């Protein structure tokens, strides 16, 4: 027996997934620098989104919810892993050469930004969320979002725009 509401939810989620997966993947990739890890994190985040779809579908920015969840999954994984002993040079994240539509130098520059500035750039610029939505997602004020965005863009500009005297 098919339930019409469930079929509608499946369709809505499938449409959301098709529309947002690539942008979410790019955003998480910018934060992690490892395509395989980013794909795993995004897959986990979308699985969690489906499990909570009734709540997530009413969220003001479901794609931001997915990105935030993916990054939170990474933090949880990192916290468990930090007690492990690392082998020299084997645990360093690497840039993935197969990133389409993203300049590798820009990705590297974004990864060098402080965590909060990286998050603001990813949510505000790549996912094109408004300042208030970014503030809600990160649990900070809109003014703080603006400050982080300003500092991040200034840092990026300093790396890419030649200084004229």
- In angstroms, the CA 93 to CA 73 distance is 17
Q: How far is CA 109 from CA 112, 143, 156, 158, in A?
A: 5, 24, 7, 10
What is the mean predicted confidence (pLDDT) over 4-27? 90
CB atoms within 10 A of CB 160: 10
Of 6, 138, 7, 8, nearest to 61 by C-alpha is 138
The whole-model pTM stands at: 0.57
All domains in the chain, ordered by first residue: 4-160 (1.20.140)
21-42 confidence digits (pLDDT tens): 999 999 998 888 888 999 999 9
Average pLDDT, the chain: 82
């Amino acid at each position: 027996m098919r339930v019409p509401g469930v079929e509608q939810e499946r369709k809505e989620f499938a449409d959301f997934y098709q529309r947002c997966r690539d942008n979410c993947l790019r955003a998480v990739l910018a934060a992690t620098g490892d395509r395989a890890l980013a794909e795993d994190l995004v897959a986990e985040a979308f699985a969690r989104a489906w499990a909570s779809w009734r709540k997530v579908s009413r969220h003001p920015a479901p794609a931001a919810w997915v990105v935030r969840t993916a990054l939170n999954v990474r933090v949880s994984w990192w916290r468990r892993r930090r007690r492990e002993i690392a082998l020299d040079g084997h645990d360093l994240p690497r840039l993935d050469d197969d990133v389409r539509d993203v300049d590798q130098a820009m990705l590297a520059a974004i990864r060098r930004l402080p965590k909060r500035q990286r998050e603001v750039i990813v949510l505000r610029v790549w996912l094109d969320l408004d300042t208030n939505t970014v503030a809600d997602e990160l649990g900070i004020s809109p003014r703080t979002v603006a400050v982080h965005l300003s500092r991040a863009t200034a840092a990026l500009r300093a790396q890419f725009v030649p200084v004229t005297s």
